[in-house]
Structure 1
Amino acid sequence: MPDLPSELRQLNDHIAALENSRGQLPDDVVDTAIAAIRAQLQTIVQAAHAVAVTGNNYGNINTGLIIQQASKPGAGKGELRRAYLARILNQANQLALFAGDSANTQIRLSSVYTALLTQHGEWDARLANESGDDKLRTGRNGARQSVLDRFNAERKLVLLGGPGSGKSTFINFVALCMAGEMLGSTSVNLDMLTAPIPPEPDSTDDKPKTQQWDRGALLPVPVVLRDFASDLPGNAAVNAATLWQHIEKRLHQSALGDFAPYLKQELLESGGLILLDGLDEVPDPEARREQIKQAVRDFADTFDKCRFLATSRTYAYTRQDWKLHEFAEAALLPFSPGQIQRFVDAWYAHMSELSRLSENDAKGRAELLKRTIAHNDRLAELAERPLLLTLIARLHTERGGALPEKREELYAQAVELLLNQWESLKVSYKPDGSKQIEPSLSEWLNASRDDIRRELDKLAFEAHRDQADLLGTADIRQDKLVMALWNATPNKTGINLKLLEEYLRDRAGLLAGHGVGLYQFPHRTFQEYMAACHLTVDGFPDQLSRLLCVDPTRWREATLLAAAKVMRGTPEAVWSLADALCPCDEPPTHGQAKESDCWGALLAGQVLWETGLAEPSPDTASRNEQKRQRVRRWLQAIAERGWLPTVDRAIAGGTLSVLGDGRDLEKLVAIPAGEFWMGDDGMDDSKPRHRVTLPAFKIGQYPVTNGQYRRFAQATQRTWDSPDADKPEKRNHPAVNVTWHDALAYCAWLTVEWRKAGKIGAGETVTLPSEAEWERAAAGMEGLAFPWGSDWREDCANTSESGIGDTSAVGIFPLGVSSDACLDIAGNVWEWTRSLWGKDFMKPDFKYPYRPGDPEREDLQSGDEIRRVVRGGSWDDSQGHARCAVRYWSLPDSRYLSRYFGFRVVLLCSAPVL
């Protein structure tokens, strides 16, 4: 009789050789040959009472050989234990994301796992919303902590999270590392388990700490509670023995029944890890809930030397009575930027290991994907969920290292992948460990994929329409989902609805179970996108226009995505939508416009921007150019007259920038000569309050914008390192990332340009304002605390209280206008002046009272070590900094914090003091 390990090794070598021949032989030939060899392997191993798991290598460990040795008659405890661990090692490492993954190209958990984080200390269930703990994203109630650290501190722990958050992945990874450590693997072991959590991009810690696990290697016992529930005895009482009988049964089905008494003995005497996956994901949960909970509690009491880890979806655990007494709770946090970057690096390194890419190509693609995610807020939000990050990485890999530039196309391809994962053939395992292929949903329903998709789009629309809370994704009742799919099949009499419910329960992808009898899309983005798809075929564009004008917050994203989708067909459909959204030719010249008209105009502008039709083009038909101009006029009115809430008005201002801001942004306002009150007795650096007399001058009504400064930088070839420089939506925002020298150079250039154009005379000079001129323009003759009056008022300035969180288009705060018609002189950006502060940042060398004409205070030739005064506050500062008398400073050549610094110009009738 041939030596069993030797014979199996030879067959495995044949399989490896066939895999290497792909590209030289057709895939169907290779697949047929490999399937025949694997069938032979199965026959040989079963004949020897072995478990059919072939030789996967984990450093110095070959699990196939271990299991083969245990198959010999009379195998001892040690051999059986090693076979048990080898089986866990193989199964836990499988991460078959798609049914088509072959054994040699399958993504391995050990290669891509990224350490998960939770909240340090007790978490607040009230913060966890129904879409999977979104409000825990920032970890704002305490420091972040690795899930492993938390498990190390708790003997009994329930790990909570939404679908795709990494719960089952963590259980499998713990089992994998424990099994590898006990088998003596040099690659998969406790060192891998406790590897440091990924550092954040801005971290300065060059020696990150390992995660904590001081419990040693513990024998893992994974239990899928869905399978356990199927073994429960009706309504009979259950106890620890019930769960143990299930574990023992699974061992017998895996040809490891002889190990059962040894396993039980070790768990009772030495302890182990009982890993309970899917507490709430059991069939017939209402009937099984108390049985499952009782069995787990009793088992934990009996096997009191073991540690227990269970997983559950957050909603079900906190709201559907799944709580386990005496079990601590930990809620998974979404991926941080550091975790995202670590996963991407690991993913592409694994692509190189699988020989799908060269090492250099893999590293280059990883850098591209990390950069793409970091610079795309919408993509970064999706990437916070491990399932969706894996989806993004898969798309990026399959597209040759690129993602669609347009987000609608990205969502379309992502939805198709998720639908494929949810709907297509599925590989599962029978109780004896052998694979089985479940039919696709379209085969199961005998319905076309297009019909299924159409019904799901309609379901997404109805869920989005009826969702009470606009945060996260809607709950979709199981009966609604089942009926939607039932509607897709032409042979309704052949569908068993109860079996359809069970079929859907075990599926994940486009829709996943959220709680008992509840489903959700994996992210609100996909719900909105599929709702948009439905709206492009049902009453477009009129129904969408009506919905938007009634409830703009709910339908904004769906409107933009619908526009982008129809743009792929014909631009005329987009122009029709813009026309439906903004039908009124002119905004009213007096009074308040109707809110629905304002929302319609704003979304019409965003629709044109989203689809690339916003900017003037000679290819635009005259009738459509008229529509574009109509939208532009409405957006200008919204910006100038403050017709929408602050944040939405800021969006209108940016959209106006793309369509073309028709305002005179170089306009100067005249400040008459005279005396005014300067300073504030309540501020050390601004006292005493005193009278100052100034000659007449003119000052910019607005700060200098990006569009204006860009023309200067191009004309003079001056370096301007600003992230806003080329953004069309920020052409009418204040120019930032300019030093004091940059601002003064702009003024000198503008002086020449305006003189050449005849706009100013030879005796007039454009320069920066002195701080006295700036304060006179801001505070008026009476020296007001704020440009608009003595007290702070909402919606008067872009400060941190506004909620905008960035610069905004100039002039969108009409209520904040000064008595001399200056806008944005409080908030938005700190503004450079030509006045000196001094060398000491703690206190000014140039104190009050201010004396006009002082040759030193406005010396333009002073060295760069002497700080210059800036005024007005910024979008990142609180209201107190927006007071007219507040003085701040910066070094004239410094770019530190320069994203908060801009300037406006003054026109003087004679040159400023040198």
Structure 2
Amino acid sequence: MDGDGPKRQRTPEEKVIRVAPSSSSVRRSLADGEAQYLAAAIAKLDSLEYGDPAEFVFDRSGRAAARRSNLRELWVPPTFRTADERNVERDINALWTTTEQCAVVIGHPGYGKSTLARFLTTRFAQEFLASKLDRFAFYVPLASLKLKDRTNQRAIVECALRAVELELDEGALLELEKSLKTATLIFDGLDELPLTHGTGDQIPTRIEAAALIRSVNIPNNESFRTGGLSTIVTSRVADWHEDDRTKIRPAALFEISNFSPEQAREAVVRWHDVAIGLRAEEGLDTADLEKRKLDVASAISTNSELGAVCLTPLMLNILQTIYSDESRDIPSSVSQLCLRAVDRLFIKKHLFGEQKLLVTEHASWILDALAEAAFTAQERLVQGGTKILTDEDLRRVSKNTCRLSEATLFETRENLITSIAAHIRRGHGILPPLRRNEYDFAHNVFREVLAGYALAKRPVTQRRGYALLEKWHPPIRYWAGLRAASEEGKNEINAFVGELRGGPGSRTIEAALARAEMLSEVVSVTHGQNLMRDLKQRILATQSELLKWLSRRSLPFSKRMRNGDLLGTLGDPRLEAEFSSRLFWLETGPRQIGRSTNHITRITKYSSVPASPPIKGMLSRYALSAFLVTNAEYKQFLDDGGYKQREHWQSAEGWTWASGDDDFRNAVLNRARDVAPTHLTSEVLGQRLIAEDFPDQCERMIKRSSPMYWSAPSHNRPNQPVVGVNWWEALAYASWIDARLRKEGKLDKGQQVRLPTEAEWESVARQLSGDNPYPWTEGAPYENAHLRAAESNEEARALRPCAVGLFPFNSSGLHDIVGNVWEWTLSKAKPYSEEAFRQEADVCGLDDRVARGSSWLSSEIEAAEITFRSFDPPYNAYEDLGIRLCVAERGK
């Protein structure tokens, strides 16, 4: 089955750094300069730069933090993608296995590049002092490097000392220069340097810094280390690729990935456990923090939009930091999260410091200036320009938002403008300086939310023009999120949505999506409660409008996907209909499955279940459900305690697994690991996994009590198909829904809900296809289904499940019979025989079961055809394998 997704390796503390023992004797005596530097580096760098739990515990009371939290207690190591394995996630130990002397670590803003550099520096120091390593590391933030009138060695050492706030005499400096020969140099922030010199600049250009780093890596350089990993360099992704003159070669390239849901949960636990420990040391109650930990973990696992944004260390730390006031709910939307973060980091954090007077008297002006800066950056970006802001931009917006009377003294006015601009330039973790006179928002959502805040001050006619432009949809959405918290704001949104329903451009897909974006934010912020009648009617009208757009074959894939996501938030009317009305019936009659020749495939697994020869048989009347089982539907099974209801687990093996029997799970785990090379071939071919990842992947697949990807923001929208379920879970859900419908009187006595056999599945697909190999009569596969392998245009390569039923390939009302996710069947993976037409199955044992229908992740082109077969053992689960239900006569 093609469906496991990029591998996320576990990162327990003992795996963080694994360095081979030194071949030379370990140094145990230190020169004075080395000892002082190592002590200062550990004291200064072994903590988070932003979002320390100590600030949360102490600062709220107006006291300075008693101490900083240790980084090693908080930090969740990142995973990387390497230049030669772009789709495989590697853990931090990949840094130490590179044969290059230089490792370049690139990442997007907020991905934790500097935190990684700080952690590595302190970990090197601790391991060196404990005689576990033969070298330590110098932390060299390049934005503070000064080359003028200095040798490279002196410039590096001085920069490293400034970074840890240490001053040493000439003798100690000379000692440390000698240490460069055996140290690893960590050059942080190549992207923070300018490409060219400005007036009076002492810091080097990026080109000069790159030349210095290359000189460190020249073999046999007498001034620097000659073997092993001598340098680590960090940079933003875009800046690394901007100019070949700044590239460092040879070097091993590692790109930091965003957090997996598992990493995010681990980060939440670590952060709160440290905060709880600090509270306990103060003799304070920690019950609220225990609840808070659950609240944060729940928010990022159940709110798809919020969860997706918080899959970076920066945004997750911001969420944890600003959710501090027990009288306020955790932010339920991205707009709320960002605005609270700005309020906390630009205003409230400074109420007890030097900026107290400024933030007390002019908080609204500071926020307005920041919003206008974001609006400027967004407008430039939409017009094809840069989103980078300059000192001049920040002063201009500060000047424009200072609402002083004309009678105010010129000097007073200028001083205030300068103070506001200077306060904004400090960045506060949200608008960090990139390099000389340049600034960028640490995450795009800050720019978009604040641009939305600025939109609120624009005339309605101007705002309308922006709403009709697709690239302005995020700010328009966040404007609604910021306004939705009040009744006045909801009235304003209601009026503006109505304004967009008439006039020029109102009947375009952009206008429809703009209306849906705003209303979905209202639903997120208010949880759908206490909405005025007009807004409820707007939502109903927008739902209907989105469904009409989905019926158009010409709708581009990206807009089709977004349409489905918005229906997931607003509510998908198609899924609210009675189950009995969402069935596709096939009458009793003769049927044929199979084909005369086997499919062409690169993968032995698929070849082992041939689709030939064709075979005929008789099937009694039955129906398939029009849609795949969705997350919203499966959640009802979970909420009802379905995993603990023995009557729904139809095989002894399934119940033993569901009940958590350790012996059985371990036995199944061993089997899963044995057959992993067979079932994960596609993932290896697509460079999504490597063989060493198989054991961990199998353990996560077996040892769980909910769907495998239940907490993944890209997979858990209500109207997406449930995935990551094994065959036993699919059987149990079918039994549970059968019992529920029977209890409600919505199922005939002679009928039964179950999984379809593969003959039933293929017969329905043939009914839809005519003489075509696909279950539609016109158009290419990528126009009719979410199929990666069959998609001919790059736009359609979205590597996640889409909402169910986004492709109107026929008038049957049946959706996703091919594409989106594979579908479990009752049938055993055997060659075709008369038994294939039996409409019942033996559910006991560990026999492999057939899956049909291909998926968003399938690697084989012919998998889109209705005769293509796949199979898996009943304990396997993937991110592209789900459930479709069948209704048939009981016992058939």
Contact 1:139 1:333 in 2 (8 A): no
Give the secondary-structure state (helix, strand or coil) at the position aligned to 2:66. Answer: coil
Structure number with the bigger relative contact order (C-alpha 8 A, sep ≥ 6) is 2
Residue matched to 2:450: 530
User: Cα 1:304–1:580, aligned 2, differ >3 Å: closer, same or farther?
Assistant: same
Q: Is the 8 A contact 1:678 1:772 kept in 2?
A: yes
Between the aligned partners of 1:296 and 1:832, the Cα distance in structure 2 is 58
- Aligned partner of 1:885 in structure 2 is 867
The aligned residue for residue 544 of structure 2 is 633
Deviation at 1:847, TM superposition (A): 1.5
| Distance in 2, Cα, partners of 1:256 & 1:597 | 63
Counterpart of 2:782 in 1: which secondary structure?
coil
* Equivalent-residue separation in structure 2 for 1:898 and 1:329 (angstroms): 31
* CA deviation after TM superposition for structure 1 residue 682, in Å: 1.9
* Aligned counterparts of 1:159 and 1:678: Cα–Cα separation in 2: 52
1:286 shift after superposition: 2.8
8 Å CA contact 1:744–1:768 kept in 2: the answer is no
Residue in 2 that maps onto 1:599: 513
What SS does structure 1 have at the residue aligned with 2:448? helix
Count of residues in Structure 1 that have an aligned counterpart in Structure 2: 738
Q: Distance in 2 between matches of 1:555 and 1:335?
A: 25
* Contact 2:306–2:333, Cα closer than 8 Å, also in 1: no
CA distance in 1, matches of 2:50, 2:430: 13
Letter aligned with residue 734 of structure 2: A
Mean Cα deviation higher: 169-178 or 630-639: 169-178
The 5 Å alignment of 1:34-433 reads 82=35, 86-93=39-46, 97=50, 105-110=66-71, 112=73, 114=75, 140=87, 143-146=90-93, 149=96, 154=101, 165-169=111-115, 172-173=118-119, 176=122, 214-217=133-136, 229=146, 232=148, 239=151, 243=155, 256-257=168-169, 260-265=170-175, 267-268=177-178, 271=181, 273=183, 285-287=197-199, 288=201, 293=208, 303-304=223-224, 319=242, 323=246, 328=251, 333-334=256-257, 336-337=259-260, 340=264, 343-354=267-278, 355=281, 369-370=296-297, 372-396=299-323, 399=326, 403-420=330-347
Query: Aligned match of 1:573 in 492, 502, 507?
Result: 492
Aligned-partner residue type, residue 561 of structure 1? Y
Look up the SS of the partner of 2:433 in the other structure.
strand
Q: Could you tell me how far 1:825 is from its partner in structure 2?
A: 3.0
Instruction: Find the counterpart in structure 2 of residue 453 from structure 1.
Output: 367
Does structure 1 retain, via aligned residues, the 8 Å contact 2:106–2:234?
Answer: yes
How big is the shift at 1:519?
Answer: 1.2
SS at match of 1:286: coil
Does the CA contact (< 8 Å) of 1:225 and 1:279 recur in 2?
A: yes
Cα distance in 1, alignment partners of residues 222 and 155 from structure 2:
11
The 8 Å contact of residues 705 and 733 in structure 1, kept in 2 or not, is answered as yes
Match of 2:675 in 1: none
1:795 alignment partner AA: E
Corresponding residue for residue 654 of structure 1? 568
Pair 1:244–1:160, CA change in 2 (3 A): closer
Asked if structure 2 preserves the Cα contact closer than 8 Å seen for 1:276 and 1:309, the reply is yes
1: CA distance, partners of 2:266 / 2:628: 42
User: Per the alignment, do residues 275 and 503 of structure 1 end up closer, same or farther by CA in structure 2, a change over 3 Å counting?
Assistant: farther
**1:247 offset after TM fit, Å?**
7.8
Per-residue Cα deviation, 1:805-851 (whole angstroms, up to 9, x for no partner): 66655543222456xx64443335555667x53xxx4x33x51597x
Post-superposition offset of 1:676: 5.7
Give the counterpart letter for 2:135 in structure 1: G
Distance 1:733 1:244 in 2: 54
Structure 1 residues 373, 107: CA separation in 2 closer, same or farther (over 3 Å shift)? Answer: farther
2:673 is matched with none
Task: Note if contact 1:813-1:823 (Cα within 8 Å) is conserved in structure 2.
Answer: yes
TM-score by length of 2: 0.66
Asked whether the equivalents of residues 676 and 783 of structure 1 are also in contact (C-alpha less than 8 Å), the reply is: no
CA contact (8 A) 2:580 2:746 kept: no
Measured after TM superposition, the shift of residue 681 of structure 1 is 1.2
Q: C-alpha offsets along residues 717-769 of structure 1, whole Å, 9 cap, x if unaligned?
A: 9869876999997469689965346536756875797789xxx8x98888876
- Say whether the 8 Å CA contact 1:830–1:903 is kept in structure 2: no
Indicate conservation of the 8 Å contact 1:785/1:791, yes or no.
no
Q: Is the 8 A contact 1:165 1:385 kept in 2?
A: yes
- Are the structure 2 counterparts of residues 419 and 880 from structure 1 closer, same or farther at C-alpha, using a change threshold of 3 Å? farther
**Equivalent in the alignment of 1:827:** 819
Residue 514 of structure 1 corresponds to 434
Residues 1:743 and 2:734 are matched in the alignment: yes
For residue 167 of structure 1, report the CA deviation from its aligned partner: 4.9
Show the counterpart of 1:563: 480
Distance 1:167 1:755 in 2: 56
State how far apart, in whole Å, the 2-side matches of 1:462 and 1:808 are.
Answer: 34
For 2:79 and 2:717, the matched residues in 1 are separated by 38
1:814 is the counterpart of 2:775: no
CA contact (8 A) 2:33 2:176 kept: no
- Map Cα deviations across residues 517-544 of structure 1 (whole Å, 9 max, x no partner): 321111011111111111123224x544
Structure 2 vs 1, CA of residues 454 and 752 (structure 1 numbering), >3 Å: closer, same or farther?
A: closer
Task: Report if aligned partners of 2:37, 2:166 keep a CA contact under 8 Å in 1.
Answer: no
Q: Check whether the contact 1:807–1:829 (CA below 8 A) recurs between aligned residues.
A: yes
Task: Render the CA deviation track for 1:468-527: whole Å, top value 9, x for unaligned.
Answer: 5999x9322332223222334456656489999888766542211224432111101111
Given that residues 96 and 106 in structure 1 are in contact (C-alpha distance below 8 angstroms), is that contact kept between their aligned partners in structure 2? no
**1:627 is aligned with what amino acid?**
R
Residue equivalent to 1:44:
none
**Percent of aligned pairs with the same amino acid:** 20
The one-letter code matched in structure 1 to 2:839 is: E
**Other-structure match for 1:795:** 783
Partner of 2:883: 902
- Report the CA distance between 1:246 and its aligned residue: 6.3
SS of equivalent to 1:577: helix
The one-letter amino acid of 1:776's match is S
Distance in 2, Cα, partners of 1:742 & 1:149: 46
How far did residue 606 of structure 1 move? 2.7
In 2, the alpha carbon distance for the partners of 1:860 and 1:326 equals: 60
CA contact 1:833–1:871 (8 Å) conserved in 2: yes
Partner residue, 2:555: 644
Any unmatched runs of 5+ in structure 2?
1-29, 599-608, 650-704
| 1:778 to 2:765 alignment | yes
Local SS of the residue matching 2:571? helix
Query: Given the alignment of the two structures, is residue 610 of structure 1 paired with residue 524 of structure 2, yes or no?
Result: yes
The alignment partner of 1:140 has SS state of strand
State yes or no: 1:686 paired with 2:611. Answer: yes
- C-alpha distance in structure 2 between counterparts of 1:318 and 1:246, whole Å: 29
TM-score (norm 1): 0.64
AA aligned to 1:579 is: G
One-letter identity of the residue aligned with 1:777: V
Following the alignment from structure 1 to structure 2, what is the Cα–Cα distance between the partners of residues 898 and 239? 55
Instruction: Point out the more displaced range, 406-415 or 699-708.
Output: 699-708
The alpha-carbon distance between structure 1 residues 826 and 665, as it changes in their structure 2 partners (threshold 3 A), is: farther
What per-residue deviation string (whole Å, max 9, x for no partner) do you get for residues 294-323 of structure 1? 895799667335966666656556547983
Question: What amino acid sits opposite 2:818 in the alignment?
Answer: A
Residue 661 of structure 1 and its aligned partner are, at CA, apart by 5.6
1:235-258 Cα distance to aligned partner (Å, 9 max, x none): xx764597499689989x97743x
CA distance in 1, matches of 2:637, 2:536: 30
Amino acid at match of 1:514: L
Tell me, yes or no, if the aligned pair for 2:73 and 2:270 is still in contact at 8 Å.
Answer: yes
The alignment partner of 1:815 has SS state of coil
Report how far residue 347 of structure 1 moved. Answer: 3.5
Secondary structure class of the residue paired with 1:514 = strand
Answer yes or no: is the 8 Å Cα contact 1:269–1:305 preserved in 2.
Answer: no
Q: Does structure 1 retain, via aligned residues, the 8 Å contact 2:33–2:175?
A: no
CA–CA separation in structure 1 for the residues paired with 2:740 and 2:50: 60
